[in-house]
């Protein structure tokens, strides 16, 4: 059975390169202390074996906490560790093929950057979409130019599919993003690079709570 995406508020992502020497599992543990509702494992520079071991550990932690666990790109690792779902990009495997692999009871998220991609994603049967990048971001190397609030406003005004606003969102601008209708926002460096990860996440969650 699919996890409930209506509870998502802050979409947490891992990034070992921004975690100030802390292990990915440690970072996830701190996220869970603050009541994280969804965590995506996104590591670009690790070997498959290391990613698999980390995902097994994170799967156990998130299961105990009742937190949704999403794996970015690596569908085989998501399947092997029984993650709740996968997140893919526009140039990854087609949604229909991913669905054939993971089955109907798992979540598929897809990054989108335009109304056309949004409509195509809905037609393809994804469970949620990423909307962005809202602002300029250095976190992802192959990211497209910022789409600003225009695309976010389009999704909010025209579609009911669950979505995650992403791209350059920080503590200083998350309220503005939420005011445009985003009820779930993704942050990377602001969380994994914080002195106190749990405290940072609690603060971010409280901002989103104002708009729910």
Please, which residues have CB within 8 angstroms of residue 21's CB and are 6 or more apart in sequence? none
DSSP state, 105?
Answer: T
Catalytic residue among 19, 42, 106, 189: 42
Find the mean pLDDT for residues 28-34.
98
Tokens of 39: 């965590």
State pLDDT tens for residues 65-105: 999 999 999 999 999 999 999 999 999 999 999 999 999 99
Phi-psi region of 67 (alpha: psi -120 to 50; beta: other; left: phi over 0): beta
Number of domains in the chain: 1
Annotation says 202 is catalytic: no
pTM value? 0.96
Per-residue pLDDT reduced to its tens digit, 105-158: 999 999 999 999 999 999 999 999 999 999 988 776 666 789 999 999 999 999
Contacts of 107 (CB under 8 A, 6+ apart): 2, 3, 5, 68, 70, 84, 85, 86, 127, 128
- pLDDT, residue 102, reads 98
Picking from 68, 70, 84, 72, the residue whose alpha carbon sits closest to that of residue 45 is 72
End-to-end Cα separation, the chain, in angstroms = 25
- Each residue's pLDDT tens digit, 163-188: 999 999 999 999 999 999 999 999 99
Closest by alpha carbon to 156, among 121, 181, 174, 176? Answer: 181
> Domain range for residue 126?
5-209
CATH of the domain at 150: 3.20.20.70
Can 111 be counted among the known catalytic residues? yes
Catalytic residue among 59, 106, 111, 189: 111
Question: Within 10 A of 69 (CB to CB), how many other CB atoms are there?
Answer: 25
Q: Which of 140, 170, 175, 202 is catalytic?
A: 140
């Amino acid at each position: 059975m699919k996890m409930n995406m209506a509870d998502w508020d802050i979409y947490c992502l891992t990034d070992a390169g921004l975690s100030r020497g802390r292990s990915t599992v440690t970072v996830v543990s701190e996220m869970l202390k603050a009541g994280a509702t969804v965590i995506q494992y996104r590591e670009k520079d690790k070997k498959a074996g290391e990613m698999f071991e980390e995902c097994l550990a994170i799967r156990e932690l998130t299961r105990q906490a009742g937190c949704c666990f999403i794996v970015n790109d690596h569908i085989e690792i998501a399947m092997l560790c029984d993650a709740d779902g996968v997140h893919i990009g526009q140039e990854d495997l087609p949604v229909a093929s991913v669905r054939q692999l993971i089955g109907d009871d798992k979540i598929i998220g897809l990054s989108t950057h335009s109304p056309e991609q949004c409509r195509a994603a809905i037609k393809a049967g994804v469970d949620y979409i990423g909307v962005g990048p809202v602002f300029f971001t250095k976190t992802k190397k192959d990211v497209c130019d910022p789409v600003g609030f225009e695309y976010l406003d389009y999704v909010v005004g025209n579609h009911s599919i669950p979505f995650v606003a992403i791209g350059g969102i920080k503590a200083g601008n998350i309220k503005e993003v939420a005011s445009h209708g985003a009820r779930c926002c993704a942050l990377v460096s602001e969380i994994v690079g914080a002195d106190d990860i749990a405290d940072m996440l609690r603060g971010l969650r409280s901002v989103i709570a104002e708009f729910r």
